[in-house]
């Protein structure tokens, strides 16, 4: 999801290769959809933590688990949408499988280079799995709504925030689902769950 106000890097003459366990080599600065595999995304996201790892529980809370929950809530909130948008919701943080998850305040402290790299990765990932490089604005807005809502619940359930404190940084959500306390699960378990949900959505898109 590329912000039109973000300008590209002045020069991208260098390459920044990441070798995946699948054997793929992804140029992070100039990504090709052909070098992206869902297994690599699932593995990477299952081992990248949300909240810089500052969460409660036996296991770190991963971006993969966050992504699965965002898609789950998206499906509850918007059950009648084309299932390809569920796939977009599941993959909304997929670039973090190679660039990690920076907390929002730190992202703002960086220049536009970070956002440009992130947006290019997002476009390549969406194209790899049959989605438009740029999502329709309405879909993008709905995914962001769910993403922010889940962040509020994560703050309460996992990151040690009181409701009043969380509401000062994130608007308390009003969604059509019954809140259940989030408990982080192991990287191996969420990797499998992420891949299973991906396959379920793809089958419904066929």
Residue 66 has pLDDT above 50, yes or no: yes
Q: CA distances (Å), 111 to each of 8, 29, 87, 107, in order? A: 11, 15, 29, 8
Please check whether residue 7 lies inside any domain of the structure: no
Mean pLDDT value across residues 55-61: 97
Q: Read off the pLDDT band of 10 (50, 70, 90).
A: very low
CB 122 within 8 A of CB 67: no
CATH classification of the domain holding 63: 1.10.3210.10
**Measured distance CA(7)–CA(112) in Å, rounded:** 7
Please check whether residue 26 lies inside any domain of the structure: no
Q: For helices 187-205 and 63-77, what crossing angle results, to 10°?
A: 40
Residue 59 has pLDDT above 90, yes or no: yes
Q: What is the DSSP string of the chain?
A: ---TTPPPPS---S--EEE-TTS-EEETTS--GGG--HHHHHHHHHTSBSGGG---SSSPPBHHHHHHHHHHHHHHH-TTS-THHHHHHHTTTTTHHHH----HHHHHHS-HHHHHHHHHHHHHHHHHTT--SS--HHHHHHHHHHHHHHHHHHHHHTS---HHHHHHHSPPP--SS---------HHHHHHHHHHHHHHHHHHH-
The predicted-structure confidence for 138-184, as pLDDT tens digits, reads as follows: 999 999 999 999 999 999 999 999 999 999 888 888 887 778 899 99
Residues 6+ apart with CB under 8 A from 191: 42, 43, 46, 64
Please check whether residue 28 lies inside any domain of the structure: no
Predicted confidence at residue 114, as pLDDT, reads 77
Q: CA distances (Å), 171 to each of 1, 21, 202, in order? A: 22, 39, 32
Please check whether residue 1 lies inside any domain of the structure: no
Parent domain of 54: 36-205
Mean pLDDT value across residues 74-82: 96
Q: How many domains does the chain have?
A: 1
Pairwise pLDDT comparison (48 vs 178), residue with the higher score? 48
Least confident of 19-23, 25-29, 100-104: 100-104
Please check whether residue 176 lies inside any domain of the structure: yes
Residue 26 has pLDDT above 60, yes or no: yes
Please check whether residue 13 lies inside any domain of the structure: no
Q: Residue 27 — φ and ψ, nearest 5°?
A: -85, 105
Please check whether residue 182 lies inside any domain of the structure: yes
Predicted confidence at residue 105, as pLDDT, reads 67
Q: What is the DSSP string of 144-170?
A: HHHHHHHHHHHHHHTS---HHHHHHHS
Please check whether residue 2 lies inside any domain of the structure: no
Residue 205 has pLDDT above 50, yes or no: yes
């Amino acid at each position: 999801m590329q912000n039109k106000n973000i300008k590209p890097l002045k020069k991208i003459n260098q390459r920044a290769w990441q070798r995946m366990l699948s054997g793929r080599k992804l140029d992070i600065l100039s990504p090709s959809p052909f070098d992206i595999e869902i297994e690599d995304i699932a593995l990477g996201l299952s081992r990248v933590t949300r909240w810089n790892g500052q969460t409660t529980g036996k296991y770190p809370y991963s971006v993969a688990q966050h992504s699965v929950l965002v898609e789950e809530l998206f499906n509850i909130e918007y059950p009648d949408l084309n299932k390809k948008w569920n796939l977009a919701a599941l993959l909304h943080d997929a670039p973090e499988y190679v660039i990690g998850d920076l907390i929002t305040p730190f992202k703002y402290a960086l220049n536009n280079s970070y956002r440009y790299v992130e947006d290019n990765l997002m476009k390549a990932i969406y194209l790899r799995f049959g989605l438009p490089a740029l999502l329709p604005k309405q879909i993008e807005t709905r995914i962001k709504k769910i993403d922010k809502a889940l962040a509020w619940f994560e703050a309460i359930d996992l990151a040690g925030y009181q409701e009043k404190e969380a509401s000062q940084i994130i608007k308390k959500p009003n969604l059509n689902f019954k809140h259940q306390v989030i408990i982080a699960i192991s990287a191996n378990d969420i990797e499998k769950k992420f891949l299973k949900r991906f396959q379920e959505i793809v089958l419904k898109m066929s």
